[in-house]
Every structure is written in C-alpha cells, then in structure tokens.
Amino acid sequence: MKVSLLAVLSLCLATTLFGENSSAPVITVHKGISEQVEVNQISGQAGVEATSILKNDIQLSGAFSLSNSATSTITVSGTASPSSFTGTATEKSGGVVLQKNYPGETRRTVHQFTNDLVETVTGQKGIALSKVAFVADRTGHKEIYTCDYDGARTVQLTHDGAISVSPALSADGRRLAYTGYQSGYADIYRIDLTSGARTRIVKFPGTNSGAAISPDGTRIACTMSKDGNPEIYVTGINGDSPRRLTRSRGVESSPTWSPDGSEIIYSSDERGGPQLYRISSQGGSGRLLTTGFGYNTQPNWSPDGRKVAFNVRNGGGFQVAILDLDSGSTRGTVAEGENPVWGPDSRHLIFARGSGLYLFDTVTGRETRLVSDLGPISEPAWSH
C-alpha cells in the first residue's frame, strides 16, 4: 500500500513537472499530489451560486484540492453577474496565474474558468465543460438522460416508452446516438442535441446496437447482425455504407475508437469468455489484448490513447479494470462499477453502480456520486 502510494505521488509529481515544462507560462509552485486552491467568496449578483459551483469544480478537477488560506498555493476570487463571470487566480507571491472574463450564464462560465485554470496549471484538459449521457429506469422504461459532468442539469432526453439504451456521445457533446426498440427491433438513432432532431440511422434486419461515434464525428462503429451473426461494422455518421470489420462464430460487441480513429477495440467471446481485441478501423484481423481476466467487456479507450478501461466480472458484481496499452500490463481492478468511460482528461472515469452514477479519479481513487433518485442507472457515455 505504502509503495503504491509512493508510486502515485512520484507519478503525479512527474506529470506536474512535465506539464510545467511543456506549457511555458506562469506557475512555479508544485509540491504535492494536487495544487491547494483557496476559493474566496465570489462577489456580485450571482456570487453565491458561482462560489458553490467553483468550489465543487475545484474539488472534482483532480488537479486541485480545496484548501484554506494557510495552506493554499493559489487563491481564486471573482465577480459573477447573471450574464458574465470574471475570475482571477493568484499565486501566494502575488503573481497572476489567470485572469479572464467570460460572457454567459453562471454555471457555464464558471466551468470555463475552471477548465482554463486546470489547463494553465497542469497543461491537461479539464473536465468541467463535458456532458454525460446515461440510461435510467425511473419511469419504468429505460430512457436516455443527460447531465453535466458534475451531475447538474439532469434531463430526461427520450420519452420512447420502449427500451432506450446504449447512448454514445460525440466528442464535442453535440450529438448522441443510442439503441431504441420503438420498431420492436433494436435500431440505432441519432439525436442532434442542439436542435433535438432525431433520425433512425441504422435499421438493418436483426439487432443494431452499441454505437460509438468516431472522434472526428464522421463515422459510427456498432454491432449489427444483418449478415447472420453479431459482428462489428463501421458506417458513415448517417448509417450509410456499412463496412464489416469482424468475422467470427462468436459475439462481437462494444466497439471503442482510438483517438485518431484508425483503430477499434471491441469485446469478442469467440474463445469462450469475452476477451478484448484490437483491429484497424479499415478491417483486417483483430489482435487479442491479454488482460489476465476471463470476462472482459465494455472497453473504453482513453482520449490520450494510452489506456483502456473495461469491465471484469467477479462473483456477483462488476469491477473496473484498466489496461495500459504502452506496457500491455493490466492495473488490477480499481473500483466496483459498470461501463466505465473516460473523461477528457484521461484521468477520471464515470461508471454506473446500482442507482448511482459515479465520477472516479483513477489517480487518487476518490469516488463522487453524481446522480440519484432515478432508479437503476446504466451505460454512461462521456463527451470529451
């Protein structure tokens, strides 16, 4: 335990130092696992709301921890009106780390400021502006819901009254694809989240499910069974010109894209229990990824391309495991939960467990519950 904590500490230090070197400006003080940030009461008409959103953002960022003036290395203050937010972050020495005005409503502008602060200090992408989609059973039917990364603004997106499952978000969070059974069969639908327009894009005979939108938003990978077996296919974003990638006797499911869109990792049970395979998105042969587990499903490729989170099964429940693609080694199980998906920072995961949706920091192991009171929750998706 001591050793692994030490490893985590040194890893964080290395990451922080590296981040500092690669992004030239500002910050000089890096001591611990995360920067200690003090948040002063935000002034202005929307100050109370802005303060609580900002404190929560800082806490959930992973890059920072909330602190008081005695221990903090960065102090944040600001002014919030209903239509704009100005934030200032200063070092103990008085040097300004970040000062910026953001026009727009409070929640969004505070998230923008947090992301900018994370990026300035660590060089990493923040998670505060990302969107989450998931399946909940509150109405007695499985429907698709969306919320912000912190669980705020939860909205029921579909009202199909059928079975609506397996949501996927585009990287920019503007489009959502999901599996709907309105026709009595499993079809893939695409929703433009800005206009609300919905199109049934994949409706071949048999079962069409498990859509994953390519990082550039032009293609969809999914499972189809039209040719007589559930296999992985890649189609255009409108479900056009499907191209078959796999040919096996077994069940292929849950494709996930590499960040550059050139490869796909999926789950296949052709050798008994489901295993993970890696294949070119143009086709070819799937190469087995050895994980050391007998049951491997629901792979999700991190946006930095270096890791795959997936589910393993042990006893009654599901555990989250992480495969490091550089070394090929699996970092045992890190948490209890289903369908882990990476956030934009390739550090946090969101997964479902029972009637909860959880944000999980893979560096510290901290878990934060995002959503409750919607009945059983499953199959989250996370924009980047």
Partner 1 sequence: MKRIGIFCCLLALSLAACQKTQKQEYSGAEGDYVNGTPLPPRQEGVSFFSDNVAKGQFQPIYFAFDSFEISPDEGKKLQQIGSFLKTAHNNIILAGFTDERGTPEYNRGLGERRAQAARNYLLSLGVSATRIQTVSFGQEMPVNPGHEESAWAKNRRVETGVVR
Query: Under the rule (CB under 8 A), what is the footprint of partner 1?
Result: 135, 142, 163, 165-166, 179, 181, 183-186, 203-207, 209-210, 223, 225-230, 245-254, 267-271, 273-274, 277, 279, 283-288, 297-298, 311, 313, 318, 338-339, 378-379
CB nearer partner 1, residue 135 or residue 193: 135
CB nearer partner 1, residue 15 or residue 333: 333
Strands ordered across the beta sheet of 164-169: 164-169, 175-180, 187-192, 198-202
How far is 189 from 186, CA to CA, in rounded Å?
A: 10
CB nearer partner 1, residue 15 or residue 280: 280
CB nearer partner 1, residue 61 or residue 208: 208
Cβ atoms within 10 Å, residue 196: 8
Per-residue burial over 4-31, b = 16 or more CB atoms within 10 Å of its CB, e = otherwise: eeeeeeeebeebbeebbeeeeeebeebe
Q: Which residue in this structure is represented by tokens 């969306």?
A: 146
Residue 155 Cβ vs partner 1, minimum distance, rounded to whole Å: 21
Residue 316 Cβ vs partner 1, minimum distance, rounded to whole Å: 8
Whether residue 78 contacts residue 85, with contact meaning beta carbons closer than 8 Å, is answered with yes
How far is 23 from 25, CA to CA, in rounded Å?
A: 6
Residue 17 Cβ vs partner 1, minimum distance, rounded to whole Å: 38
Whether residue 47 contacts residue 63, with contact meaning beta carbons closer than 8 Å, is answered with no
Residue 185 Cβ vs partner 1, minimum distance, rounded to whole Å: 5
Residue 189 Cβ vs partner 1, minimum distance, rounded to whole Å: 15
Residue 186 Cβ vs partner 1, minimum distance, rounded to whole Å: 6
CB nearer partner 1, residue 151 or residue 286: 286
Cβ-based burial of 245 (10 A; exposed 0-12, middle 13-18, buried ≥19):
buried
Nearest partner of 16 among 64, 69, 51, judged by Cα: 64
CB nearer partner 1, residue 259 or residue 283: 283
Helix (H, G, I), strand (E, B) or coil at 174: coil
CB nearer partner 1, residue 63 or residue 245: 245
Residue 219 Cβ vs partner 1, minimum distance, rounded to whole Å: 18
* Residue 156 CB-half CA count within 13 A: 16
Residue 110 Cβ vs partner 1, minimum distance, rounded to whole Å: 34
Nearest partner of 44 among 1, 91, 106, judged by Cα: 106
How far is 265 from 33, CA to CA, in rounded Å?
A: 32
CB nearer partner 1, residue 18 or residue 185: 185
